Structure 1
Amino acid sequence: MTTRRGFLATLLAASAAPATGWAAAGDPAYLAAAKDPQGGFVLAGLQADGAELFRIPLPARGHAGCAHPRRAEAVGFARRPGTYALVIDCAGGSVLHRLAAPEGHSFNGHGAYSADGTRLFTSEQVAEGSAGRVGVWDVAAGYRRIGGFATQGLGPHELRLMPDGASLVVANGGIQTDAFDRTMLNIETMRPSLAYLGLEGDLLDLVELEPDLRQNSIRHLALRGDGLVGFAMQWQGEPGAAPPLLGLHRRGGAVTLCQAPLAEELVMDGYAGSVAFDGSGTEIAITSPRGGRLHRFADTGAYLGAVSRADVCGLAAHAQGYLASDGLGGLLLVEAAQARPLRRAGLSWDNHIVPVGGQGHA
């Protein structure tokens, strides 16, 4: 027999149950920000073949986002220094919550959910001095901010939940910027780092580059299921240099720097825009919209080859290799050394393609 207490408990559980799942939004494989032909900005949901499932307006240029592990919700982040982070109902198209960073902080374009979807972690920096912070938000309480902790570096950009579900990895760019724009103030004293943090902020490992690479800002991250981290870099030193733009690291170990042949490294123009492991996890790639190149490397760091594509930047794992996007609306399937066009949207894709669900872990 159902008791009154049991009935109330059932109602309470129902009210706390996850909202609409991703199936209601068409089961997208990816999310990507873009600019539309009218000059507006959107967040789009994509199938694995590049077909567009939905398009939701954004108030200004988007950068990246993160997808809730179960609910058809995503957080869209503005380009750094960000003035908005929106929680979006991807099934209904409405804005559920507008997140506000603490006074004197800005969002830095990326975030990650906890494995169970109960917490959101956001990449932030303090405007004065650019000290890195991770914001912590209670999802069940309507994305109420419940705290934050240091990233152990300056100017953090991407952060990701590690495959163990118990730690984060943060790309600290090492750059101090002007409080109101992107002007760099500390090029000569940069200290980029890769920080591994517990979910309460305890420092687990901190990796810094050699002194001659201190102007190689660590920006973006890719994860493999066994904990191998790939990190993409952007050179802030003298023009014409050809530093490595990709590193591999496993917590507690040494960094492996991945170097392309000199001519190819020069074409990249010191800039890696995105990084991803392929669908098999046996190789990793970076993109350069400046150079119109995608560079492929083995998971040992060995160079495998290049693919040419104008303004290519977005990159994500695909069952057959990689899905890549460009600023001209193109979506490409990259298999080994071949790039095959999938779709051309009436959109200018922005920097990143964000996997939904398990798509991002090889």
Structure 2
Amino acid sequence: MITWAEFYDVMVAMVPLYVAMILAYGSVRWWAIFSPEQCAGINRFVAVFAVPLLCFHFIASNDPYKMNFRFVAADSLQKIVVLFAAGMAYARGGVALDWAISAFSLATLANTLVIGVPLLSAMYGDSSSSLMVQVVVLQCVVWHPLLLFCYEYRAAQALLLARLPGVSRVAPGEEEISIDLSLNSVARAKEISLDIPSPRGEVGGGEEGCSSPRTTATGSLQQKPSAMVMTKMILIMVWRKLIRNPNTHSSLAGLVWSLIAFRWHFGMPRIVDKSISILSNATLGMAMFSLGLFTALQPKILACGRSAAIFTMVMRFITGPALIAAMAFALGLRGNILRIAIVQAALPQGIVTFVFAKDYDVLPAVLSTGVIFGMLIALPITLLYYIILGL
């Protein structure tokens, strides 16, 4: 049974986060303190410096040799099951590729770092923060790259189909896909050209990279790349995007440091530790402030239709927690670890998933609703899960 003291501790952790978010929202919508350009600067600072440093701080201070592998396995199995189900639904023609990718994102990728660490620490103690960091590591190193791969596959498929016979061709100069390389939606977009095989098939060396040429109505040769060439192009695009993502660098650097430091038992030099802490200590407040600015800059809280919004909330707050509960229980997790697994799956939608969806123009309104409306109802929903699981 949850005591009033425990409930108050959770509120102490959560309410300040929402205060920062509400102040940011009001500073744009009600008081007109910040212009969109100034919001872009704040969001850029949070994306490039604050959140990556917080990510590095948590990962570098977590002992990778004491990971709870059953907890990590349950989290990974949940994502694999959703990915397989979405893939099968797409393969059988039940859903469009856009919805398959979005369903995977909605059901599995939560705002674990900014919301999960302080919230779960208040609910279940400091030991839960170590489990959240393990989820964050896998998100940054495995699941976000996989999500990017799915988006790049969809973008490459659409571009290649546009160049095939019988489909409207891409006009000269339009063979570039505009991709936002930052972590927030207001950062500057950069363009990366997607190399399409030449009529001679000289991609990846030799003519075996492409299938036999076809002639269009205008007499020009067009070819469909083989699966290997298409996969290579997609991987190159994903790699280019990942190496420009500050969270990728901070996650890998933190993981490498923790593997070395906890293996040979030495600490980080104090001058380096203090340099990182001076920014990472303010990151939670800044990140929530940035979320408030992001929310205020959107035209509507419910950017998609009512049925799509209901689907989004069901995937985020019911399907995800139910699946991870089944996976965790099957793997023998019990007690607080089982509760932590379920509650962390019911956290609000990760804002990075919306940024990716907006970059590739894949149902951005649905993901926007997941982030904004999900943040608004996350407090009562996570508290409800916390109370029910504590009975």
Greater percentage in strand? 1
RCO comparison, higher one (Cα < 8 Å, 6+)? 2
* Pair member with larger Rg: 2
TM-score of the two chains, using structure 1 as the length reference: 0.21
